Structure formats: structure tokens, C-alpha cells
A and B are shown apart, each in its own frame.
Chain A
Amino acid sequence: MDVLALISPAFFGLVAAGTVIGIFFGAIPGLTATMAVAVCLPLTYSMGLGTGLAFLLGLYVGGISGGLVPAVLLNIPGTPSSIATTFDGYPMARRGEGERALKIGICASLFGGLFSLVVLYLFAPPLADFAIKFSFVEKFLIILLALTLLAALGSGMLTGLFSGVLGMFVSLVGVYDINNGGNGDIRLVPGFLETWLESGFSLLPVLIGVFGLTAVLIEAEHGVREDAATKKLLLASGKPFRLSVFRGQWVNLLRSSAIGTFVGLLPGIGGSAASILAYSQEKTFNRKEPDAFGKGAPSGIIASESANNGLTGGALIPLLSLGIPGDATTAILIGAFTLQGIQVGPLFIGDNPGVWQAIVIAMLFANLCMVLVMLFAIRPIARVVMVPKYLLLPIILMMCVVGAYTINSGVMFDVWTMLAFGVFGWLIYKLRLDMAPFVIGFILGPSAEVYFVKSLESFGTLTIFFTKSWIAMLLWVLILASVTASVAIARAGARRARMAAAAEA
């Protein structure tokens, strides 16, 4: 489809609307960019391809950006990806420089967003071209690599891998699809549920459950305390914002944006890792004011915010070129793409150049909207963080139900799926397993099965996974490297913990 056929005034209007709604979601503590996309999905059911994508990408960019508002004003990260913004943002706000800190964060976010967009534009098409040559063997190994990477860099190798494999197992429930070359037999389903679970659990009710309902249940479990209302907002009484604060920050901006983009590329690692990694790098390398960090250093905010917006473009690279989501939000985007009849993967960009260009334009416009809205409407947005939860959470629940119910035009089983997975997500949280690997395992499970079984059917030997091509061998090297790295990281962490314990004793 031609890009001009997809772009219309409504397209830009919906990017802007998505960005504004996303900013509100990001700004309200407890709501995340992922939830914004999950909850607003039903709005896109009847939209066309271009407008639907425009709206969702706006939500994504807005949701990641809005998190800095409560991070600065209330010392609560609005989304996990703004965690490092609190380190220096809140001390600035306490000095009366809340507005200055916010504006520094907004400009850094814009830089990070645009940087990663350029990387996306340049690197996604060649990566996709390369990936077209992959056979089922390499595709299976890519999924294996994605799972080990996200386990290695998440909260722990074992926990991450277990969560990922669990997601995969749940995704295999139902029929081994004939359309993918399967034999059409059902498995892992108790007899009385066969009619309902023939095609497995629907993706979007599962995602709405684990990202929407689970968050509400966690709040309910803790008694729905109003944390925002007790604190006073500190906007502007101190130093005003000037662009000159960015003088000498180029290295910081570029490094942090690059870290964010790279972390986005790796599957399953969220924005909090990007933000903390960029912050600690800046803290290590900053020679001018090394002691100012944690007490209100603008460089700290710049590092954290450019990194978390750098994530947006980075996470779209594996999604659009390999069909593997880079984070939880892009995992939901996969569902939304499928709904619009689009299969993301190596063929996507080549087959749909118009859609690809429309995505880049939507991302660009969303970043510009984000800056305009946040710079000029910072005060009303700052008030939103005060919306009481007892009003907000019921509305979120209502939207989750609508999203699950309407996805297949009114199948009640989908709503029960949503409820069941909401509780399941809460259990995952209680057992300290990882949600992101679970979701990515769930999404990639059916493809992994087809690639694995078909490879064995055609070659008849397990050695094919090692000897098929140099790419397969390279992928094994990367898989081993990620496992080794994670073991090393875990050991170093354990050693530090032991030393800290010894020092305390």
C-alpha cells in the first residue's frame, strides 16, 4: 500500500491523540505505556491500518515519556523506565526547580526518541533483508537466542528462562495448526474445554489480563493507597529552564540514547534497565560534577530520559525485521498488527514499504507532539498525577473488559481468559517470576514449535541445528556468550552481596 494512502489528517490527529493519552498514562503512577496500549486497543478495532498504527505508536511514545512527570515531582517513577529520573529530578524539584527538571527531561526525551528513530530507519531494512535468507533452523535459533538474552539480562538467568519456557508451554495449548504444517491434533487441553480452547488462548485477552488486570489486582492487594495526594507539587520557584543547560552534554546525550536504543534491541529487557544503565555510565564518566549526582544534577536526568526514549525505536527494530518483540509494549503491538492483518517478520518491510514509511512518520510526529504537549501543558499534566486511584482503577478495569470482550466480537470466553490471566499475572508477581519473558515466550512459542519440528522433519537429525550454515554457528556462539555473561554477572552480584554482608557484620 502506498504511504500517501495511509496518511491523512486523521492519521496525524490520531498520533497526537495517542501521544496525549499516552502521556497521561505514563504520568499517573501505577499505569504504564504497556497498559496504555493494552487498554486503548479496542479503539483501534474498527480503524484502518494507518490510523490504527498511528494511534498505537502515539500511545507508545507518549506513555514512555509521561513517566518523568511524577518521577520528578513526587519521587515515584510513573513508569518503570523513569526510575533513574527520580535520582536527580526529585532533588531538583525540592529545590523549587521542578519545572526546569521536567523541561530538561522533555528535551532529552526528544533527543533520545529521534536518535533511536534514525537507527530504526537505517538498520531495520538491512537486518530484515539479511533475515529473509534464514531457514527454519536459523529462525528457531534466533528465538532461542532471544530467550537466553532476555533471561541473561533480566532479574536472573534461571527465573527468566523458567518464565520464558512457561510462556511457551502455555502458548502450545490447543491445536497444532494445519495452516503452519501441523497435523491438526489437539493437545494440553482437558476434554471439557476442547470447544473453547481449540485455537489456544487468544493473544490479546492474555496480554490485557497480565498487563491491565494484574496491575489493578496488585493495587487492590496493597489496599489502593493514595500516595500522590499527600505530597505537595513543587513546580517553579527556583532557577528557570534554559536550553544552555545542554551545553557540553552531547557525549552524555549520544551515549545515553545509544544505550537506550541498544537495550531496546535486546528482547525482553524493559526501560528501567536502559534508564539505570545510562545513568550509571554518566555517573562514572562525568568528570565535571561527579559529586552532584543524586543531589539534583541535570546530567542525571538527561541520561535517564534520553535512554528511555531511545528504547522506543530500538524495540521496534527486532519487531519489524525479525518479528520478535523488543519489550512488553511492542509485544502488544504484535497483537495489534495481527489484528490489522499484518504479519511482522523479515518480509514485512519489503512487502509493505508504505506501512513501514507510515510507521516512521508516525514515530517522528509522535516525538514532536510529545515535546509540544509536554512543554506547553506541563502544569495541567502535573495535576493529573493527583487523580485519585479509587476513580481511576475502576475505569481501567472497565476498559480491560471491553478490550477482551470486543476482540472477537463478543466471545465471553475471552473475557474469562482475561480474568484468569489477570490472576495468573498476579501469581507471577507474587512468585517473583518475570512477566516480560513469559509474554515473549507466549508470543514466540507457536513459531518456535513449527521451526523446530519442521527442521527435524526435513533433516532428520539434531546436528542440523549446529551445522546448517555459518549463521547457525554464529548464533550458537552468541547464545553461549549470553549464558556465560549472565553466569558471570550473577556470580559478581553474589560476591558483591557477600562483601556487603561481611562489611556490615
Chain B
Amino acid sequence: MSAPSLLDVTIDFSTSHLVFPTIVGTLLVLMGAVLAVARRHEIRAALAGGIGWPTDMDGLRFFGTLVLTAVYFLAMNEIGWRWPNRGFGFLSASMPFLFAMSVLYLHERSRRHLMLAAVVAVLAPLVAWLVLFRLFDVSLP
């Protein structure tokens, strides 16, 4: 056997869960630093313009999507608890959610568009419920 070298490693089983995360974490920090240096001109340009939300962003539709989706999760679960194992939580939360999302995304909220959105908001969850819950036995809230 050759003499022990720098490349020899002994891993203690009790701390073995930290070996790989430490290596990967170190790599991540190093590469992040190199990436930041490589992109320094862009970063400087971005910082020069002041920190804030991009001006070309449609904030209402973007954050509206996030808020409505979160409310949808909560409502679906809450209603689902009242009548368990029937998928009613899904059904009754999805219809207003779909309609609200369509209205949020519409640019020109004419009567015709709103009617179409309402019809889809009723039909789509119904079809999904029939197919998933009734036909495929997928458990829905």
C-alpha cells in the first residue's frame, strides 16, 4: 500500500448526510460568484436604473394570478372539508376561480366575452370533475 495522500478521505457515518450538500453548496456559491462576475456589466446596468419592479410588467395580471390561485387553494380545501370525498370543494371553488381569472385576463370585457367566460367557467370544472372523479376515481378535495 502506498502512503496516505491528500486524496484519501474518511467519511464518518454519523455526519455523512452533510458531505454531499456541503460540496454542492460550495460549488453553488463559487459558480454563483463567477456568474456574477461574468454578468457584471448587466448587473451594474440594472442597478444603475434603481431597484424596483420592471416597468413593462403587467402587475395587476401577474399578482392577480398569484393571489387568486392562493385563495383558490384555500377555498377548495375549506369547502372540501365540509363535504369530504365528493369533490364538491373542487367543483364549487373552481367555477368562480375560472370566471375570476378569465375576467382578470380579458382586455376588452364585452358582454359576449363575459358570457363565454361564464359558460367555460361552469363547463370546464364540470367536465374535469366528471372525467377525473367519476370516471378515473381520482380523489379531489
Chain A contacts to B: CB under 8 angstroms: 42-43, 45-47, 158-159, 161-162, 165-166, 168-169, 172, 175-176, 182-188, 213, 216-217, 220-226, 389-391, 393-395, 397-399, 401-402, 405-406, 409-410, 412, 415-416, 419, 423, 445, 448-449, 452-453, 456-457, 460-463
Output the least CB separation between A11 and chain B (Å).
15
**Bound-complex Cα distance A406 to B137 (A):** 11
A456: chain B residues within 8 A (beta carbon): 9, 11, 19
Contact B19 A461 (CB under 8 A): no
Contact B10 A398 (CB under 8 A): no
Output the least CB separation between A410 and chain B (Å).
6
Mark B8-26 against chain A: 1 for CB-CB distance below 8 A, else 0. 1111011011111101110
A224: chain B residues within 8 A (beta carbon): 58, 61, 105, 107
- Which residues B51-86 have CB closer than 8 A to chain A? 57-58, 61-62, 64-66, 69-70, 72-73, 76-77, 80
From A187, A221, A393, contact of B58 by CB (8 A): A221
**Chain A-chain B contacts (Cβ-Cβ < 8 Å), number:** 166
Output the least CB separation between A290 and chain B (Å).
38
Smallest CB-CB A-B distances: 9 pairs = A176-B17, A394-B101, A223-B58, A390-B105, A449-B20, A462-B7, A224-B105, A185-B17, A220-B61
Contact B105 A221 (CB under 8 A): no
**Bound-complex Cα distance A499 to B20 (A):** 44
Tell me the nearest residue of chain A to B38, going by C-beta: A158
- Residue B116 is within 8 A (CB to CB) of chain A in the complex: yes
Contact A165 B24 (CB under 8 A): yes
Output the least CB separation between B135 and chain A (Å).
9
Output the least CB separation between B85 and chain A (Å).
10
Contact A168 B24 (CB under 8 A): yes
Q: Interface size (B, Cβ < 8 Å)? A: 63
Contact A398 B94 (CB under 8 A): yes
**Bound-complex Cα distance A452 to B94 (A):** 46
Contact B72 A158 (CB under 8 A): no
Contact B8 A217 (CB under 8 A): no
**Bound-complex Cα distance A388 to B32 (A):** 40
Q: A220-B65, A389-B105 are in contact. Are A183 and B14 (CB under 8 A)?
A: yes
Contact A43 B124 (CB under 8 A): no
Interface core residue of B24, B27, B57, B128 (most chain A CB under 10 Å): B24
Contact B24 A405 (CB under 8 A): no
Contact B73 A460 (CB under 8 A): no
From B8, B23, B76, contact of A401 by CB (8 A): B76
**Bound-complex Cα distance A216 to B19 (A):** 38
Contact B9 A393 (CB under 8 A): no
Contact A217 B62 (CB under 8 A): yes
Q: Provide a sorted-by-A list of 11 A–B residue pairs whose CB atoms are within 8 angstroms.
A: A158-B34, A165-B24, A165-B27, A165-B28, A183-B13, A222-B58, A226-B107, A416-B73, A456-B19, A461-B8, A462-B8
Contact B105 A399 (CB under 8 A): no
